[in-house]
């Protein structure tokens, strides 16, 4: 970007965005979006639904980072994020958070995320970690989790997120299953709000996240030092309408649509495909109103590359099939079997075996 373009963007935010951001901070911060985007308010509760297909970053926060800081401060004042060393025993509906993990590099982010889950209030909490690291890492994780080491003897090497999620769902005991990334900290009322949305019979699936605040390396280190997420942090990005990261579903609904598609191996595609099946075949609440914080880690090489076969070839191929046909196919598989995924061969190997695989197997 040239200096002239930067000046134009800065002036555009000053003239057309600054005042509406400030108004939203004092009224309803969830109503912020980019100028070309449209939101639909929830007619029966909190939140807004994004009326566009793909995730996007708030342009004003990118150009004026202090807007992102102020937005995060306002959001977390309403929906704070805390950390605890153990889950507090309580009565109420049982919610199972399921995290797929691999490698040792992101253990600090995983532990921080688990501690934000342990701080949940108003629910019975279960945290299931399905680990694909060659050697178990249970000794490095907070006590009180349900840990399963996924042995991959005889299984093709690779990052098997869908398989791990399905194994975790078989292990979990909750009526509500939350499939969650191990680098995203959650507000203390997240689980309780999921119960409110899914226990009243109106919805089968809930994606109630509104904004995801991406911290940089320095501010992630500050969170570790202070053991807190506060208003001094300035997010690098403020993302909205993202498909992965966290999604909650009633246990019966999850198994009725065939779980996650275990044919996706290595990075990309599985979250989008699962989201699409939920949206088309279940009652999916997409009215977002909660803030989340993404902890920094080194980027996964090749994940968003244009030649990533999962994104360039496998996902379009699977999405070309009607959602009902995919459900019928997946429910007939032996999904969630800890002995191995079904299918045994990744789609990218069978559908595009001539393509090189630029994506590393597991986080490093």
Tens of pLDDT, residues 273-309: 999 999 999 999 999 999 999 999 988 765 666 778 9
Provide the pLDDT for residue 303.
60
Provide the pLDDT for residue 153.
87
Provide the pLDDT for residue 88.
79
Contact 332, 260 (CB under 8 A): no
For range 339-359, the mean pLDDT: 75
Provide the pLDDT for residue 354.
45
Contact 251, 173 (CB under 8 A): no
Q: How confident is the model at residue 358 (pLDDT cuts 50, 70, 90)?
A: very low
Task: Break the chain down into helix, strand, coil percent, rounded to 5.
Answer: 35, 15, 45
Residue 288 is classified by DSSP as B
Pairing of strands 184-185, 290-294: antiparallel
Provide the pLDDT for residue 352.
55
Bridge partners (DSSP) of residue 48 are: 41, 288
Residue 79 is classified by DSSP as S
Provide the pLDDT for residue 230.
87
- Residue pLDDT, tens place only, 304-345: 667 789 999 999 999 999 999 999 999 999 999 999 999 999
Q: How confident is the model at residue 361 (pLDDT cuts 50, 70, 90)?
A: very low
Domain definitions of the chain by residue range: 94-351
Tokens 């609904």 identify what position? 253
Tokens 């102020």 identify what position? 70
Architecture category of domain 94-351 in CATH:
Alpha-Beta Complex (3.90)
User: Under DSSP, is residue 22 helix (H, G, I), strand (E, B) or coil?
Assistant: helix
175-189, 200-214, 348-362: least confidently modelled range: 348-362
Q: Assess whether pLDDT exceeds 60 at residue 359.
A: no
For range 159-185, the mean pLDDT: 97
Provide the pLDDT for residue 315.
95
Share of the chain above pLDDT 90, in %: 81
Q: How confident is the model at residue 1 (pLDDT cuts 50, 70, 90)?
A: low
pTM: 0.93
Contact 137, 131 (CB under 8 A): yes
Q: Assess whether pLDDT exceeds 90 at residue 173.
A: yes
- Mean pLDDT across the chain: 92
Provide the pLDDT for residue 59.
96
Contact 55, 30 (CB under 8 A): no
For range 175-200, the mean pLDDT: 96
Rg of the chain (C-alpha set): 20
Q: Assess whether pLDDT exceeds 70 at residue 206.
A: yes
Contact 130, 151 (CB under 8 A): no
- Residue pLDDT, tens place only, 56-92: 999 999 999 999 999 999 999 999 999 999 987 777 6
Contact 33, 55 (CB under 8 A): no
User: Under DSSP, is residue 74 helix (H, G, I), strand (E, B) or coil?
Assistant: helix
- Residue pLDDT, tens place only, 241-266: 999 999 999 999 999 999 999 999 99
């Amino acid at each position: 970007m040239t200096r002239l373009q930067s000046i134009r963007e800065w002036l555009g935010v000053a003239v057309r965005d600054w005042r509406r951001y400030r108004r939203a901070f004092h009224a309803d911060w969830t109503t912020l979006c980019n100028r070309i985007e449209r939101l639909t308010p929830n007619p029966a509760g909190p939140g807004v639904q994004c009326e566009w297909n793909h995730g996007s970053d708030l342009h004003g926060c990118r150009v004026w980072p202090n807007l992102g800081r102020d937005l995060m401060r306002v959001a977390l004042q309403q929906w704070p994020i805390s950390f605890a060393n153990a889950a507090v025993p309580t009565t109420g509906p049982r919610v199972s958070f399921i995290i797929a993990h691999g490698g040792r590099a992101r253990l600090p982010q995983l532990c921080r995320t688990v501690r934000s889950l342990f701080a949940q209030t108003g629910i019975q909490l279960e945290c299931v970690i399905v680990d694909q690291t060659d050697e178990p890492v249970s000794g490095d994780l907070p006590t009180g989790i349900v840990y399963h080491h996924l042995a991959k003897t005889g299984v093709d090497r690779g990052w098997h997120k869908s398989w791990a999620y399905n194994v975790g769902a078989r292990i979990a005991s909750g009526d509500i299953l939350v499939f969650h990334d191990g680098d995203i900290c959650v507000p203390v009322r997240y689980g309780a709000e999921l119960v409110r949305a899914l226990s009243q019979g109106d919805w089968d699936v809930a994606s109630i996240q509104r904004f995801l605040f991406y911290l940089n390396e320095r501010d992630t280190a500050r969170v570790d030092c202070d053991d807190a997420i506060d208003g001094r942090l300035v997010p690098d990005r403020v993302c909205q309408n993202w498909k992965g990261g966290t999604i909650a579903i009633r246990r019966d609904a999850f198994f009725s649509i065939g779980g996650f598609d275990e044919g996706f191996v290595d990075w990309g595609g599985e979250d989008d495909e699962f989201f699409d099946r939920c949206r088309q075949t279940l009652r999916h609440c997409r009215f977002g109103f909660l803030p989340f914080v993404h902890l920094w880690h080194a980027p996964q090489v090749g994940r968003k590359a244009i030649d990533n076969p999962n994104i360039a070839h496998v996902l379009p191929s699977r999405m070309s099939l009607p959602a009902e046909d995919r459900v019928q196919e997946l429910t007939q598989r032996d999904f969630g079997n800890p002995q191995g995924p079904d299918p045994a061969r990744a789609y990218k190997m069978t559908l595009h075996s001539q393509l090189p695989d630029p994506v590393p197997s597991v986080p490093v």
